[in-house]
């Protein structure tokens, strides 16, 4: 009896997986549409399971399907036994261990929620504190402080809000998780609700991810049917309701206060902090806001213990990080490893160098508001602290590779342009600074009064960094200044 697996996730479908699935069906083989394992470079992948072995195939096209069933491991597109694929074997999957193994709506066999329903909030929060988990959305703020604040702040109705507005270029971990293992997120948010006393949750998902929306909504419906959500979770008498909310196209809604405004149905303009959302969030109530991966780490922490999680990683960068390797690289995809791995091991080890075959000139780490680094810095270990020393941030874990054809002046221009397009407009440094920055950078690219304009850029960046209300304006200077500092020759032609 042979079973074939063809992913239904966006990365696979966008590369033609539906045609592969149709060819498998034509062949009369039983098919499971699984999530993605994160080997995006090999999508569409296909796996066949027979006689206790599970073989993987990469970059499959529909016409390959009949020969795959005949030739098995002899087939040119065979990647080998799934458990022996180097790209996966070298990873430590605490969050993504189930992603890609089965249909995303197959209920996982886990007893973590059941066990936690009997624990008191204090012990759950203590577990998070022991784990050292820090927010995976970008800021890296210690999670337990937020949890405890929401728990301690009085309020009739408290909320759990998941930020799935994954707008950073070069990131797709939230999407892969929601499409491959949606129950993990549901479970993580439910556990957060039990710990903080919040009985209502929302997942704010960007509209650019329609496939994720469909899968996650189906998982929510199933979770209600299975009594994993609702007013009496697994007969415990404890309640947690969860709803999916789709955004309407605005990068800024990934900023937590802007997201809350949007969730309230308003313009996604950011709020002035303080008060922080943990004290006054959704409708002014205590609200725990975390990124998808932060919540998704919770079941593993509760199941294996905070100490187990803290043992992974280095120093205050505990646990695993889902790095996302993208851009001009041979093997881009999702790489979940403990903190402490070097940039080089990700970019060249996992990634296999540039896709174009040309020398790598720079990477941008941490999304559109992240720094451009030089290959000389690739021996830096990926920890919050070591990356901060470079004047950069890990952000949501995105690493975008560029070869030597990149023009950093153009990238700096783009950083301002992106800020101009996506600024919410509430504060002047961001709303106007982005426009003036773009104009000034155009002048530099044209070679007009370059030195004078570079001084203006520096002044402007200082204003944006110190006077913007949120990180959109506050961090736009990072890609700009890191590019000028490391690649001055691109600005003075």
Among the listed residues 6, 8, 13, 213, the single contact to other proteins using CB under 8 A: 13
Round to whole Å and give the CA distance between 336 and 349.
14
Q: Which has the closest alpha carbon to 397: 277, 247, 296, 264?
A: 296
Q: Interface with other proteins includes 333 (CB under 8 A)?
A: yes
Q: Interface with other proteins includes 229 (CB under 8 A)?
A: no
Q: Interface with other proteins includes 86 (CB under 8 A)?
A: no
Among the listed residues 325, 341, 394, 484, the single contact to other proteins using CB under 8 A: 325
Handedness of CA 182, 214, 394, 93 (dihedral sign): positive
Taking CB under 8 A as the binding criterion, the range among 123-131, 298-306, 396-404, 467-475 that sits at the site for other proteins is 396-404
Q: Name which of 164 and 194 has its Cβ closer to other proteins.
A: 164
Site string for other proteins, 161-190 (x = CB under 8 A): -----xxxxxxx--x---------------
Strands (DSSP E) contained in 174-311 are 200-205, 241-246, 287-291
Round to whole Å and give the CA distance between 33 and 491.
49
Taking CB under 8 A as the binding criterion, the range among 86-94, 307-315, 395-403, 445-453 that sits at the site for other proteins is 395-403
Round to whole Å and give the CA distance between 364 and 398.
8
The pairing of strands 398-403 and 360-365 is antiparallel
Site string for other proteins, 108-127 (x = CB under 8 A): --------------------
Round to whole Å and give the CA distance between 138 and 140.
6
Name the minimum Å distance from CB 434 to other proteins: 14
The per-residue DSSP string of 404-454 comes to TT--HHHHHHHHHHHHHHH--SSSHHHHHHHHHHHHHHHHHHTTSSHHHHH
Taking CB under 8 A as the binding criterion, the range among 117-125, 209-217, 388-396, 480-488 that sits at the site for other proteins is 209-217
Q: Name which of 63 and 315 has its Cβ closer to other proteins.
A: 63
Round to whole Å and give the CA distance between 38 and 408.
29
Among the listed residues 1, 51, 76, 248, the single contact to other proteins using CB under 8 A: 248
**Alpha helices, H only, 268-360:** 292-304, 306-311, 343-344
Site string for other proteins, 410-449 (x = CB under 8 A): -x--x---x--xx-x-------------------------
Residue that is written with structure tokens 């790095």 in the block: 323
Name the minimum Å distance from CB 108 to other proteins: 24
Round to whole Å and give the CA distance between 332 and 355.
9
Among the listed residues 54, 238, 355, 374, the single contact to other proteins using CB under 8 A: 355
Q: Interface with other proteins includes 348 (CB under 8 A)?
A: no
Name the minimum Å distance from CB 20 to other proteins: 14
Residue that is written with structure tokens 């874990």 in the block: 397
| Residue 382, SS3 per DSSP | coil
Site string for other proteins, 267-306 (x = CB under 8 A): xxx------------x------------------------
Q: Name which of 180 and 306 has its Cβ closer to other proteins.
A: 180
The per-residue DSSP string of 37-91 comes to -S-GGGPSPEEEEETTEEEEE-S--GGGHHHHHHHGGGSTTEEEEGGG-HHHHT-
Round to whole Å and give the CA distance between 31 and 18.
12
Q: Name which of 268 and 338 has its Cβ closer to other proteins.
A: 268
Residue that is written with structure tokens 């700009």 in the block: 480
Among the listed residues 153, 294, 364, 471, the single contact to other proteins using CB under 8 A: 364
Q: Which has the closest alpha carbon to 147: 174, 129, 164, 165?
A: 129
Residues that bind other proteins (CB under 8 A): 10-11, 13-15, 40-41, 43, 166-172, 175, 202, 207-211, 243, 245-251, 262-269, 282, 324-329, 332-333, 355-356, 364, 368, 398, 400-403, 406, 411, 414, 418, 421-422, 424
């Amino acid at each position: 009896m042979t079973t074939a697996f063809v992913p239904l996730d966006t990365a696979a479908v966008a590369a033609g997986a539906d045609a592969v699935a149709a060819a498998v069906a034509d062949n009369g083989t039983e098919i499971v549409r699984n999530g993605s394992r994160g080997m995006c470079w090999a999508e569409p992948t296909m796996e066949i399971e027979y006689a206790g072995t599970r073989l993987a195939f990469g970059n499959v096209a529909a016409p390959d399907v009949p020969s795959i069933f005949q030739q098995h491991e002899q087939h040119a597109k065979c990647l080998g036994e799934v458990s022996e694929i180097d790209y996966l074997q070298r990873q430590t999957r605490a969050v993504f261990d189930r992603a890609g193994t089965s249909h995303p709506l197959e209920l996982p066999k886990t007893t973590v929620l059941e066990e936690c329903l009997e624990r008191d909030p204090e012990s759950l929060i203590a577990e998070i504190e022991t784990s050292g988990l820090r927010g995976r959305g970008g800021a890296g703020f210690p999670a337990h402080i937020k949890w405890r604040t929401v728990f301690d702040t009085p309020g009739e109705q408290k909320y759990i809000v998941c930020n799935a507005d994954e707008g950073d270029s070069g990131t797709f971990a939230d999407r892969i998780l929601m499409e491959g293992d949606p129950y993990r997120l549901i479970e993580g948010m439910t556990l957060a609700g039990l710990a903080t006393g919040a009985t209502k949750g929302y997942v704010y998902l960007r509209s650019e991810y329609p496939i994720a929306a469909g899968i996650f909504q189906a998982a929510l419906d199933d979770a209600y049917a299975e009594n994993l959500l609702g007013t009496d979770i697994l007969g415990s008498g404890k309640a947690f309701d969860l709803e999916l909310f789709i955004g309407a196209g605005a990068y800024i809604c990934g900023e937590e206060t802007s997201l809350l405004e949007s969730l309230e149905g308003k313009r996604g303009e950011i709020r002035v902090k303080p008060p922080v959302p943990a004290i006054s969030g959704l409708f002014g109530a205590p609200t725990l806001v975390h990124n998808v991966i932060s919540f998704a780490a919770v079941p593993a922490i509760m199941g294996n213990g905070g100490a187990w999680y803290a043992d992974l990683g280095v120093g205050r960068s505990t646990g695993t990080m889902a790095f996302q390797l993208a851009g001009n690289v041979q093997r881009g995809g999702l790489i979940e490893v403990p903190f402490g791995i070097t940039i080089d091991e990700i970019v060249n080890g996992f990634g296999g160098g540039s896709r174009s075959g040309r020398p790598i000139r720079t990477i941008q780490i941490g999304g559109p508001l992240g720094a451009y680094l030089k290959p000389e810095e690739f021996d830096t270990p990926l920890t919050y602290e070591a990356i901060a020393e470079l004047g950069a941030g890990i952000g949501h874990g995105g690493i975008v590779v560029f070869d030597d054809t990149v023009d950093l002046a153009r990238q700096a221009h783009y950083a301002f342009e992106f800020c101009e397009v996506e600024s919410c407009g509430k504060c002047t440094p961001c709303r106007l600074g982005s426009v003036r920055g773009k104009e000034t950078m155009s002048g530099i690219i044209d070679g007009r009064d370059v030195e004078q304009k570079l001084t203006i850029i520096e002044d402007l960046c200082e204003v944006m960094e110190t006077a913007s209300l949120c990180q959109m304006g506050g961090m736009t200077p990072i890609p700009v200044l890191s590019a000028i500092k490391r690649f001055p020759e691109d600005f003075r032609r």
